[in-house]
C-alpha cells in the first residue's frame, strides 16, 4: 500500500493542478520545479480547465496485472487546451454511438484509477470522456 | 574505409552469446556465467578487472539486487569491482559505454560487460507491470499503459500524420524473420511473409503481434580491452569502438516536444558520428532498437537514414535487407532473435562485432567495415549508441 | 394538570436559507428490467422500464464529485467558501473514511470545512439538507454542499434487483437572497420501523416485502407532508410540483394521490421509470429535474423517505434567479438521454458480482 505516494498527488489527480512559469509563461503539467522550456524556477500553481483533444489513443486488451480487472480499456494522449499533453484513460465510451478519433474534443472527469486490492486504498484521478454537450 | 590500429583503441576482444528463450531450469547467475565463459574463451581467457552488468528487471522479477557482486562471486571473479548499469532497455549499450569510459581512463585494462535478464520468472501480466516501470510511474503507468500501448500511441499518431497504409510496417517483420532463419541462436527461425503479417491479431491497435518483439531470457557478454593490452596475435579480426555516446530525452511520452521524433536517438547518433568522424552514409550495417516496429522506423529517421515520416519506406522497399543500402537486424533483431530487455544492447554489439569480423555465418554481409548499434530505454528516454569499425593492420 | 402533547413545530431557521446551486449525475449504462426478468423469471411484468448502472470506474465518490461540480457551476461561488461537505448514501466506498473528504478535496473546499458522511437509508441526503438549513440558518456558515448519491445493490433474483440503481444530486445551500429556490419550512417524522435494513458486513439488504408499503413508506411520507403543509397553511393545490422518494413508479404516484396531488404535479420529478431507484439520490435527483423546468414563483414540495424509518419534508419557492442559473450546467435530461444499454452479463461484471479472486 503506497499511501504517501498517491496522497501527495491529490491536487494533480483531482484538479489537474500544474504550474505556470512566470518567466516564459510556459504552462506545465505535472508541476516540476524547473521550467523545461526556459530552465528557470517554476512554482506558481495553475489549474488546467480539463478541456483538450485526443492526440493519439489505443486499446489495451492485455493489461498489466495491476489493471487486469479493468480490461479492456482505452488509453490516450490528450493535448490539453492550454498546451501540455497528458496520458490518461478515456472513459464513458460507447463506440456504437461515437468512435474515438484523433482530434475529438474531450473533458476531464474524476474516476477510480486503481484500487490497491480489496483492502487497499482507492485511488481517484483524471480520465477523459467525449464532451457531453449542454445548452 | 581502412582503419589502422592504435594502442589506445578500445577493442572488443571476446564475445559470448546464449540463445534467447525460456530457460526454465537456469538461474540468472548461471545464464550470465554461460555467456561470460564463452566470451572469455573467445578472448583467450583475458581476466576482467571490472564487470558491468546490464540488467533492468532482476530487482522486480527475481527479487535480486546487487547483481555486480552476485555475478563476480558466481563467475569465479570474487573481489573484482562490479556494478549493475540500468537504463531500461538501453542498459546493454549503457553498460558498454561505462566499460569504454573506464578503459579510456586507463585505470582498467580489461572490462567484462554482461547483459542478462530472466524474463520467464513471472506470468506475463506481472511482467507488463515491471516493463512499464521504465515510464513515468505516477503519470503513465498508473493509467494502465503497457509498453505495447505506448508504442501503439506513437504508431497511431505516425500513421495518422503521414496517412500510411495498414501494412506499412510489414517489411520490418519480414526482414527480421528472414535473417533470424539463418541464426541458429535465434528464438524464431522461420520466415514470415507480408500475408501473415496482415492477418496477425492486434495487440494494441495499430500494433499487431508481428510488430512486437517476443521477450524472453538471455545473456550476452563482451570482453573489452585496449589494443595495447591485447595479445599480439588475436584469434579474430580486431574490432574497435570508434564512438560511444549516450543521450536522454523526456521520460514520459506525453512530454516529448515532438512525439514522432526520437531526440535522444538523434542526439546520441550525431554525437557518435562526430566522435568517429564519419557520417550516416558511412554506416554499412545498423543494429537498431526494434522492440516495436515503430521504433525501428523512427530510429532510421533519427539517425539520418530517412526523412521524418519516411523511415517505414526503407522497410517497404527492401533497403533494410542484407543486400540493401542500410541492413538492419542482421541476426534477426529483437523481433526474431528475441528481445531480452536490459541485455539486448549487448546482443546488438556482439552481433555487430561478429559482422565486422566476418563471423556472421549465414547472415554475413560481405566486406562490412563500419557499423552502428543503438538501443533505446522505454519509449526513447535513453539512447546508447556505439559505432564499431574493423581494424585492418598490415 | 394534563400533559397534553404540544403541536409539533416545523423547522424554520432564524435566517432564511435556500438552494444556491444544484447538479445531478446519472451514469450512462442502463439495464432493462426485461433482462432481470429474462434471467430470473423468463418473462412477466416489471416494476420499471430500466435502471441506471455505474461503470467500472465509478462509485459514489466519483459521481458525487461530478454532481458537485455541476452544482458549483450553477451556484457560481468559490468552492473554498463551502464550510460543510455532506454526502448521504447507502453505498459509501469505504466503511471508514468519509466519501465527503475526497469530494471536498476534489472540488477545492478543503481544508477549512466540515466533512461527514450521512446515513439513513434513502433519506441520508435530506438529513444533510436539514443540517444545512440549521448551519446556515443560524449564521454559522454561508454555504454547504449536501449530496445524495448511491450505487445501490440488489440481491440477484430479488425484487429489488429490478430497481436498485445508481445516481443522485448535489446542492449548494446558502443564504435565501442568493438562492434560486428558498426553503419555507421543513419537517421530519421518524419511528423505529424495520421495513428494510442491512446488517454490517452483509452485502445485500433484507426487506419486508409488503410491510415496506403502508406502515413504512406511505405512513411516513404522508405524515411528514401533511404535518408540514398544515403548519404552513398549504395544501396540494398550492404546489406546482411535488417530488417524493421513488422506490418504483407506483409508490410515489399513490402517495401523491393520497395527499391530493394530481399526476401532472409529480410528472417532472418522476424519474424512476427511466433510471430506477438510486436510493439516497432518488428524491434529490427528482428535484433537479423539477428545477430544470420550474418557473419563478413556483412552489415545490419535496418529501424523502428512508427505511428504518423516516421522512423529511421541505417546502420550497422558486426565485427569479433560477431561469438564468439552470443553464450553466448539464441538465438531468441530458444525463437521462445519455444511454448505453447493457445485458445482465455485463451488469454482473460492472456490479462486482463476479468472483475474481
* Residues of C recognised as catalytic: 90, 122, 245
Confidence of residue B9 (pLDDT cuts 50, 70, 90): very high
Of B156, B250, B259, the CB nearest to A58: B156
C199 and C266 both lie in a single domain: yes
For cell 470522456, the residue is: A129
Query: What's the ipTM?
Result: 0.95
C54 inside 8 A of chain A by CB: no
The reply to whether A67 falls in a domain is yes
* Chain C residues whose beta carbon lies within 8 Å of the beta carbon of residue A113: 57
Tally of structural domains, chain A: 1
The reply to whether A36 falls in a domain is yes
* Chain B residues whose beta carbon lies within 8 Å of the beta carbon of residue A64: 125-126, 128-129, 132, 141, 144, 146
C337 and C313 both lie in a single domain: no
- Dist CA C14 CA C10 (whole Å): 13
C172 and C210 both lie in a single domain: no
User: DSSP states of B124-143 as a string?
Assistant: HHHHHHHHGGGS-TTTTGGG
What pLDDT shows up at residue B229? 86
- Dist CA B225 CA B227 (whole Å): 6
Q: How far is C66 from chain A (nearest CA, A)?
A: 7
- Condensed to tens digits (0 to 9), the pLDDT of residues B252-305 reads 999 999 999 999 999 999 999 999 999 999 999 999 999 999 999 999 999 999
What pLDDT shows up at residue B47? 94
From residue B199, how far is each of B135, B194, B295, C120, C150 by CA, in Å?
A: 30, 9, 21, 58, 46
C31 and C154 both lie in a single domain: yes
pTM for the structure as a whole? 0.94
* Chain A residues whose beta carbon lies within 8 Å of the beta carbon of residue B206: 58
The reply to whether C287 falls in a domain is yes
The reply to whether C249 falls in a domain is yes
Report yes or no on chains C and A touching (3+ CB pairs under 8 A): yes
The reply to whether A28 falls in a domain is yes
From residue C321, how far is each of B296, C21, C171, C296, C299 by CA, in Å?
A: 62, 10, 15, 8, 15
C49 and C134 both lie in a single domain: yes
What pLDDT shows up at residue B224? 97
The reply to whether C140 falls in a domain is yes
Selected for mutation to probe chain A from C26, C29, C57 (highest A CB count within 10 Å) is C57
The reply to whether C132 falls in a domain is yes
The reply to whether A84 falls in a domain is yes
Distinct helix (H) and strand (E) counts, chain A: 2, 8
> What percent of chain B shows pLDDT beyond 70?
98
Query: Residue C217's domain spans which residues?
Result: 185-319
C242 and C313 both lie in a single domain: yes
CATH number at residue A29: 2.40.50.840
What is the mean predicted confidence (pLDDT) over A25-52?
94
What pLDDT shows up at residue C154? 87
Cβ separation C57–A127 shorter than 8 A = yes
Cβ separation A87–B156 shorter than 8 A = no
Of C56, C102, C338, the CB nearest to A124: C102
Cβ separation A9–B157 shorter than 8 A = no
Cα–Cα nearest to B264, from B93, B147, B54, B85: B93
The reply to whether A135 falls in a domain is no
Is the pLDDT assigned to residue B394 strictly greater than 60?
no
C149 and C224 both lie in a single domain: no
C209 and C155 both lie in a single domain: no
C241 and C164 both lie in a single domain: no
Of A59, A85, A88, the CB nearest to B143: A88
* Chain A residues whose beta carbon lies within 8 Å of the beta carbon of residue C109: none
Any chains having at least 3 CB pairs less than 8 A from chain A are: B, C
Query: Residue A30's domain spans which residues?
Result: 3-130
Structural domains in chain B, CATH included, are 10-391 (3.40.47.10)
C140 and C247 both lie in a single domain: no
The reply to whether C12 falls in a domain is no
- Dist CA C204 CA A36 (whole Å): 53
The reply to whether C190 falls in a domain is yes
C57 and C125 both lie in a single domain: yes
* Chain A residues whose beta carbon lies within 8 Å of the beta carbon of residue C102: 124
Tally of structural domains, chain C: 2
A9 CB burial (10 A radius; 0-12, 13-18, 19+)? middle
A92 inside 8 A of chain C by CB: yes
CATH number at residue C262: 3.40.47.10
Selected for mutation to probe chain B from A8, A56, A115 (highest B CB count within 10 Å) is A56
Spell out the per-residue pLDDT of chain C, length 357, in tens. 455 556 679 999 999 999 999 999 999 999 999 999 999 987 667 888 999 999 999 999 999 999 999 999 999 999 999 999 999 999 999 999 999 999 999 999 999 999 999 999 999 999 999 999 999 999 999 999 999 999 988 899 998 999 999 999 999 999 999 999 999 999 999 999 999 999 998 989 999 989 999 999 999 999 999 999 999 999 999 999 999 999 999 999 999 999 999 999 999 999 999 999 999 999 999 999 999 999 999 999 999 999 999 999 999 999 999 999 999 999 999 999 999 999 999 999 999 888 887
Q: How far is A23 from chain C (nearest CA, A)?
A: 27
Report yes or no on chains C and B touching (3+ CB pairs under 8 A): no
- Condensed to tens digits (0 to 9), the pLDDT of residues B302-354 reads 999 999 999 999 999 999 999 999 999 999 999 999 999 999 999 999 999 99
Average pLDDT across chain B, whole number: 96
Amino acid at each position: 500500500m503506497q499511501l504517501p505516494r498517491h496522497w501527495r498527488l491529490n491536487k494533480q489527480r483531482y484538479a489537474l493542478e500544474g504550474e505556470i512559469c512566470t518567466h516564459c509563461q510556459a504552462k506545465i503539467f505535472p508541476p516540476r520545479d524547473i521550467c523545461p522550456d526556459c530552465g528557470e524556477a517554476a512554482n506558481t500553481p495553475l489549474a488546467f480547465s480539463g478541456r483538450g483533444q485526443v492526440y493519439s489513443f489505443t486499446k489495451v486488451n492485455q493489461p498489466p496485472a495491476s489493471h487486469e480487472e479493468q480490461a479492456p480499456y482505452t488509453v490516450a494522449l490528450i493535448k490539453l487546451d492550454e498546451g501540455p499533453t497528458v496520458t490518461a484513460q478515456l472513459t464513458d465510451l460507447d463506440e456504437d454511438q461515437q468512435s474515438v478519433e484523433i482530434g475529438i474534443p474531450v473533458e476531464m472527469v474524476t474516476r477510480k484509477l486503481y484500487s490497491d486490492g480489496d483492502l487497499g486504498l482507492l485511488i481517484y484521478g483524471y480520465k477523459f470522456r467525449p464532451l457531453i454537450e449542454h445548452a | 574505409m581502412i582503419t589502422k590500429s592504435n594502442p589506445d583503441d578500445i577493442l572488443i576482444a571476446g564475445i559470448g552469446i546464449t540463445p534467447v528463450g525460456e530457460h526454465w531450469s537456469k538461474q540468472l547467475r548461471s545464464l550470465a556465467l554461460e555467456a561470460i565463459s564463452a566470451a572469455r574463451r573467445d578472448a583467450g581467457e583475458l581476466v576482467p578487472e571490472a564487470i558491468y552488468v546490464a540488467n533492468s528487471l532482476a530487482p522486480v522479477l527475481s527479487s535480486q539486487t546487487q547483481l555486480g557482486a552476485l555475478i563476480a562471486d558466481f563467475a569465479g571473479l570474487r573481489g573484482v569491482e562490479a556494478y549493475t548499469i540500468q537504463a531500461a532497455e538501453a542498459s546493454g549499450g549503457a553498460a558498454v559505454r561505462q566499460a569504454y569510459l573506464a578503459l579510456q581512463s586507463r585505470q582498467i585494462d580489461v572490462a567484462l560487460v554482461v547483459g542478462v535478464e530472466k524474463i520467464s520468472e513471472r506470468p506475463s501480466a506481472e511482467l507488463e507491470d515491471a516493463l512499464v516501470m521504465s515510464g513515468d510511474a505516477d503519470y503513465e503507468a498508473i493509467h494502465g499503459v503497457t509498453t505495447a500501448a505506448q508504442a501503439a500511441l506513437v504508431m497511431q499518431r505516425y500513421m495518422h500524420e503521414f496517412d500510411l497504409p495498414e501494412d506499412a510496417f510489414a517489411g520490418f517483420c519480414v526482414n527480421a524473420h528472414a535473417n533470424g532463419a539463418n541464426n541458429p541462436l535465434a528464438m524464431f527461425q522461420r520466415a514470415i511473409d507480408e500475408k501473415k503479417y496482415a492477418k496477425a491479431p492486434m495487440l494494441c491497435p495499430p500494433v499487431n503481434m508481428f510488430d512486437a518483439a517476443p521477450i524472453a531470457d538471455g545473456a550476452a557478454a563482451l570482453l573489452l580491452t585496449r589494443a595495447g593490452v591485447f595479445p599480439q596475435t588475436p584469434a579474430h579480426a580486431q574490432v574497435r569502438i570508434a564512438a560511444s555516446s549516450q543521450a536522454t530525452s523526456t521520460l514520459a511520452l506525453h512530454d516529448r516536444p515532438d512525439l514522432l521524433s526520437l531526440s535522444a536517438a538523434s542526439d546520441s547518433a550525431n554525437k557518435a558520428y562526430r566522435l568517429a568522424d564519419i557520417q550516416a552514409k558511412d554506416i554499412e550495417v545498423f543494429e537498431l532498437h526494434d522492440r516495436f516496429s515503430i521504433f525501428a522506423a523512427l530510429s532510421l529517421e533519427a539517425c539520418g537514414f530517412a526523412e521524418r515520416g519516411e523511415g517505414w519506406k526503407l522497410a517497404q522497399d527492401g533497403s533494410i535487407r542484407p543486400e540493401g543500402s542500410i541492413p538492419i537486424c542482421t541476426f534477426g533483431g529483437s523481433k526474431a532473435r528475441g528481445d531480452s530487455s536490459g541485455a539486448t544492447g549487448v546482443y546488438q554489439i556482439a552481433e555487430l562485432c561478429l559482422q565486422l569480423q566476418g563471423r556472421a555465418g549465414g547472415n554475413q554481409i560481405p566486406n562490412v567495415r563500419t557499423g552502428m548499434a543503438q538501443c533505446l530505454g522505454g519509449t526513447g528516454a535513453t539512447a546508447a549508441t556505439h559505432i564499431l569499425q574493423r581494424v585492418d593492420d598490415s | 394538570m394534563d400533559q397534553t402533547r404540544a403541536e409539533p413545530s416545523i423547522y424554520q431557521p432564524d435566517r432564511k436559507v435556500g438552494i444556491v446551486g444544484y447538479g445531478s449525475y446519472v451514469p450512462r449504462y442502463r439495464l432493462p428490467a426485461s433482462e432481470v426478468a429474462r434471467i430470473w423469471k423468463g418473462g412477466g411484468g416489471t416494476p420499471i422500464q430500466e435502471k441506471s448502472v455505474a461503470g467500472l470506474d465509478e462509485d459514489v465518490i466519483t459521481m458525487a464529485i461530478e454532481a458537485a461540480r455541476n452544482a458549483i457551476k450553477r451556484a457560481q461561488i468559490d468552492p473554498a467558501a463551502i464550510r460543510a461537505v455532506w454526502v448521504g448514501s447507502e453505498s459509501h466506498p469505504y466503511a471508514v473514511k468519509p466519501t465527503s473528504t475526497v469530494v471536498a478535496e476534489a472540488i477545492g473546499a478543503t481544508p477549512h470545512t466540515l466533512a461527514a458522511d450521512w446515513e439513513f437509508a434513502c433519506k441520508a441526503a435530506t438529513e444533510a439538507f436539514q443540517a444545512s438549513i440549521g448551519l446556515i440558518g443560524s449564521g454559522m456558515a454561508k454555504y454547504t454542499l449536501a449530496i445524495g448519491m448511491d450505487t445501490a445493490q440488489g440481491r440477484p433474483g430479488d425484487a429489488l434487483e429490478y430497481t436498485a440503481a445508481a445516481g443522485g444530486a448535489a446542492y449548494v445551500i446558502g443564504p435565501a437572497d442568493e438562492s434560486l429556490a428558498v426553503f419555507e419550512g421543513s419537517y421530519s417524522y421518524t419511528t423505529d420501523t424495520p421495513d428494510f435494513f442491512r446488517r454490517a458486513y452483509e452485502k445485500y439488504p433484507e426487506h419486508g416485502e409488503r410491510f415496506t408499503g403502508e406502515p413504512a413508506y406511505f405512513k411516513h411520507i404522508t405524515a411528514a407532508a401533511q404535518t408540514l403543509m398544515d403548519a404552513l397553511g398549504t395544501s396540494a393545490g398550492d404546489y406546482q410540483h411535488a417530488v417524493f422518494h421513488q422506490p418504483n413508479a407506483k409508490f410515489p404516484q399513490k402517495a401523491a394521490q393520497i395527499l391530493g396531488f394530481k399526476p401532472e404535479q409529480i410528472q417532472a420529478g418522476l424519474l424512476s421509470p427511466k433510471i430506477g431507484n438510486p436510493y439516497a439520490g432518488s428524491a434529490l435527483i427528482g428535484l433537479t429535474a423539477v428545477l430544470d423546468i420550474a418557473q419563478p414563483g413556483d412552489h415545490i414540495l419535496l418529501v424523502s423517505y428512508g427505511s428504518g424509518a423516516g421522512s423529511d419534508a421541505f417546502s420550497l419557492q422558486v426565485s427569479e434567479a433560477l431561469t438564468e442559473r439552470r443553464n450553466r450546467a448539464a441538465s438531468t435530461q441530458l444525463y437521462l438521454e445519455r444511454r448505453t444499454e447493457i445485458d445482465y452479463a455485463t451488469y454482473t461484471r460492472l456490479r462486482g458480482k463476479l468472483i475474481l479472486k
